[in-house]
Amino acid sequence: MERRRVKIATFNINGIRPRLDALLKWLERESPDIVCLQELKATDAQFPADAIANAGYGALWHGQQSWNGVAILAKDAEPVLSRRGLPGYEDDTHSRYIEAAVGGLLIGCLYLPNGNPQPGPKFDYKLAWFERFNAHAKALLDSGHPVVLAGDYNVVPTDEDIYNTRSWLKDALLQPESRAAYADLLAQGWTDALRKTFPDERIYTFWDYFRNHWQTNSGLRIDHLLLSKDLAKKLEGAGVDKWVRGEPHASDHAPTWVTLKLGRTRKKAGAA
DNA sequence: ATGCCTAACTAAGTTAGA
């Protein structure tokens, strides 16, 4: 059977308006097929739909004033909306989840709450959001659809996913509760594609703006792509486009991606 | 224990990020 390769990326852009040029440059250079964006920091009306369309991408977005905001982009295709927001969380005022079908895949794009400072109401919100997300992830997995859950999870899964834990021990990203929620999610049967591809390497996706952390490669791995069971078998490669983080006025995150080998054609039921 | 750096909102200073 003929195969097609699909590249799926997640990128916390930290403001789509000040970094639109950086986004377009990255799209042009790396040509991802499907993109999950987080931290748009823009209302729906402020989303640069024309520029993204001119770059050859269809898009769906879920914005809000000043903070949060997520979007799904598809090259030469229009993503088909599955949902905005998590089910049963209609009172959530934050725009943190959008889901769409693209090219036979179901793509969930998430921006999980940061949760700092902890303990406190923001950490409580993070854990509550995580619980609702995991419940939805379980339903997606049980549905049997090919699913990718990509985004900024705001969790450093293990001590192997950070340059040094010393100054982060009290941070919400490393708390046992945050890590347990992520471990529970993986235990449903999802594959963490970056860790699967690089089982023994330090891989980072975020370098904060402080203390020359980029220049000293003092990073964290918090942007994750999770694959449903059938898709995990089709995982071909993964990586981080670190050059984007080195650009002037860059986001503090770098685009993180996987490539999947998918069948071009699906056998019809009853076909030989 | 806090600031470091960056952006939004708005017009100097706070809030949020992670």
* Confidence tier at A3 by pLDDT (50, 70, 90): confident
Higher pLDDT, A272 or A3: A3
Higher pLDDT, A272 or A61: A61
* Confidence tier at A1 by pLDDT (50, 70, 90): low
Dihedral, CA of residue A77, residue A81, residue A85 and residue A91, to nearest 10: 140
* Confidence tier at A266 by pLDDT (50, 70, 90): low
Q: What's the helix, strand, coil split of chain A in %, to 5?
A: 25, 30, 45
Task: Return the biggest CA–CA distance within chain A.
Answer: 62
Whether the beta carbon of A125 falls within 7 A of nucleic chain B: the reply is no
* Confidence tier at A2 by pLDDT (50, 70, 90): low
Percentage of chain A exceeding pLDDT 90? 93
Percentage of chain A exceeding pLDDT 70? 96
At A230-251, the pLDDT tens digits run 999 999 999 999 999 999 999 9
Reduced to 3 states (helix: H, G, I; strand: E, B; else coil), residue A103 is: coil
- What per-residue confidence (pLDDT) applies to A263? 82
The identity of residue A157, as a single letter, is P
Q: Please tell me the distance from the alpha carbon of residue A186 to that of residue A168, in angstroms, as a whole number.
A: 23
pLDDT, mean over chain A: 95
Residue A66, nucleotide of least CA–C1' distance = B8
At A126-174, the pLDDT tens digits run 999 999 999 999 999 999 999 999 999 999 999 999 999 999 999 999 9
Bridge-based pairing of strands A34-38 and A3-12 is parallel
Distance A18 CA to B7 C1' (A): 9
Whether the beta carbon of A39 falls within 7 A of nucleic chain B: the reply is yes
Region A58-78: what's the mean pLDDT?
97
- DSSP character at residue A67: S
Q: Which nucleotides of B are covered by protein (CB under 7 A)?
A: 3-9, 16-18
A121 contacts: CB under 8 Å, gap ≥ 6: none
A130 contacts: CB under 8 Å, gap ≥ 6: A112, A178, A181, A182
Whether the beta carbon of A243 falls within 7 A of nucleic chain B: the reply is no
Radius of gyration for chain A, computed over Cα atoms and rounded to the nearest angstrom:
18
**Does position A203 have pLDDT exceeding 70, yes or no?**
yes
Residue identified by tokens 């990203």 is A173
- DSSP character at residue A108: E
Q: Cα dihedral sign for A15, A12, A239, A258?
A: negative
**Does position A54 have pLDDT exceeding 60, yes or no?**
yes
Judge whether A146 and A104 are in contact, CB under 8 Å: yes
Residue identified by tokens 């927001």 is A85
